[in-house]
Structure 1
Amino acid sequence: MVATSEASAGRERAPLSRRRIIDAAARYIDTHGLEGLSMHKLGAELDVKAMSLYNHVANKDDLLDGVMELFWEEVESNAPAKPDWREGYRSFAHALRDTVHRHARSARLSASQRTMPEPALRCLQAHVGAATNKGVPEECAYALLRTITSYALGTALVEATWGIAQAGCRPVTSVSDLVRPGIPEELVGVAQVFCIQSDPEAHFELGLDLMLRDTGDTWELVEKVSV
């Protein structure tokens, strides 16, 4: 998923394949955004007619499902399960957050594409297996990993929207970026403390620490949402 064009004058064209098409779609989205992607524009990127793409992808939804497969392949490669399952879960959260930062425009597909990519399922299976091997009940392992996934994905998408750790986007650095003129002064102060005086890395670790702490209270809460 690198933002470069496939088309290059004078270069021998590589055979068209599903993987090559999906790679090109992912690069296009990273560079131009999802809204501008069309089969016609993607064909132009690959220097082929748009109709030839349908020999390898069924339709645009199939194409976008493939982009999400690439996204999760990157997460999977950077977050192998570990003997210490808590460290594995933490590594998974960081890998997911970091991948969103690198591919924020593609990551937003997670809210619209309903097909679970195979790399995502393999990754989840590996981490749940590491936890159950250490005696964690399977339903609790799934519930906790589900919560961590939502936390990491949601946090990273908000950070990307606000321009935190996303290249090419102006970060929110002043309270004037956050509030409309005329807001009561005491509420401006709330925005200043809550949003500006913050350390995203420290806050992300705090959330993981709270979820992964080894206490009876944690397991009681997890068991309530796993039934």
Structure 2
Amino acid sequence: MASRTGKRTAAAKGKAAPSGRARPSLSPRLIVEACLRLLDAEGADALTFRRIGARLGADPTALYRHFRNKDDLLLAVADHLLEESIEGFEPSEDWRQTLRTLFIRNRKVYLAHPRAAVLATVRITRRPAEMRVIEMVLAALADAGFPPDQAVRHYRALVDFVLGWSCMDATYSTLDPHARDADESAWTGAYAAVPAATHPHIAAAAPYLASVEDDANFGFALDLMLDAIAARAPAPDPAGAAGADGAQACRSRDERV
């Protein structure tokens, strides 16, 4: 609306919030980042377009120009976490190192945003970052020698393992601190007190149960998976190698002629 002087007010242009501060121009990324901050701070129950709009100083209906509904927004948040985990990541020439580093990075990001991870790890985003991750995993498995049909089976086993483990860790980290403390003290309390007469193996292992550290344990379990995949990787075809050597020898003779 124009004033009597013919000048449009900043609020009419949509460039200022009621507080007088300039409103940011909405974009999908800005909305996703605000959604992630809200999830980090208050969890899924607080996640509404009204609350996200309030954080951005925007009308909640403006969010619908970028996302059809809350589920569409949650899928974008899930993909944002994957994008964060592969930022600056370059696959190694060693397929195993590529997968190990990639999955450790994935889990690290999920644990940095546990309330979002509980929602994200069980979804398929169908978005660019997820497709990049899938492409990298399948490429690494192809480098290991697996044809596409076998690569897919190993891809699913690996990714489901990482997502399941990350979801478990993320869910645990959102528990009430008193509940976590009680669970963690069980290894040095309840299990250390188990009598050997009834539970000899627990009694024998009790001094070591509390020493298992979560990050190291994830790395250990991931290595077990990668060891198994490496053991199942197709061996190089000796006949194919011999054939290639023969073809090279023929080409060399032809070149001499």
Cα distance, 1:123 vs structure 2:
1.5
Cα distance, 1:155 vs structure 2:
1.8
- Alignment map for 1:56-205 (pairs within 5 Å): 56-77=66-87, 79-110=89-120, 113-163=123-173, 169=177, 170-171=180-181, 172-175=183-186, 190=202, 193=206, 196-205=210-219
Which residue does 1:209 correspond to in 2? 223
Q: % of aligned pairs identical? A: 28
Cα distance, 1:127 vs structure 2:
2.9
Name the aligned partner's letter for residue 13 of structure 1.
R
1:147-177 deviation per Cα after TM superposition (whole angstroms, max 9, x unaligned): 22222222222223333xx899555431189
Give the conservation status (yes or no) of the 8 Å contact 1:80–1:123: no
Aligned pairs, number: 207
Q: Which moved more, 1:10-19 or 1:110-119?
A: 110-119
Distance 1:111 1:129, change over 3 A: closer
Q: Secondary structure at the match of 1:173?
A: helix
Give the conservation status (yes or no) of the 8 Å contact 1:64–1:113: no
Give the conservation status (yes or no) of the 8 Å contact 2:79–2:129: yes
Separation in 1, partners of 2:125, 2:171: 24
Give the alignment's TM-score, normalised by structure 2. 0.67
Gaps (5+ residues) in structure 2?
Answer: 1-16, 235-257
Q: Secondary structure at the match of 1:28?
A: helix
Cα distance, 1:44 vs structure 2:
0.8
Give the conservation status (yes or no) of the 8 Å contact 2:100–2:222: yes
Give the conservation status (yes or no) of the 8 Å contact 2:49–2:60: yes
Cα distance, 1:214 vs structure 2:
6.8
Cα distance, 1:134 vs structure 2:
4.8
Separation in 2, partners of 1:98, 1:8: 39
Name the aligned partner's letter for residue 108 of structure 1.
V
Give the conservation status (yes or no) of the 8 Å contact 1:79–1:95: no
Name the aligned partner's letter for residue 157 of structure 1.
C
Which residue does 1:44 correspond to in 2? 54
1:84-119 deviation per Cα after TM superposition (whole angstroms, max 9, x unaligned): 010001011101111111011111123554443321
Name the aligned partner's letter for residue 39 of structure 1.
F
Name the aligned partner's letter for residue 213 of structure 1.
D
Higher relative contact order by CA 8 Å / sep ≥ 6: 1 or 2? 1
User: Superposition RMSD on alpha carbons, in Å?
Assistant: 3.4
Larger radius of gyration between Structure 1 and Structure 2? 2
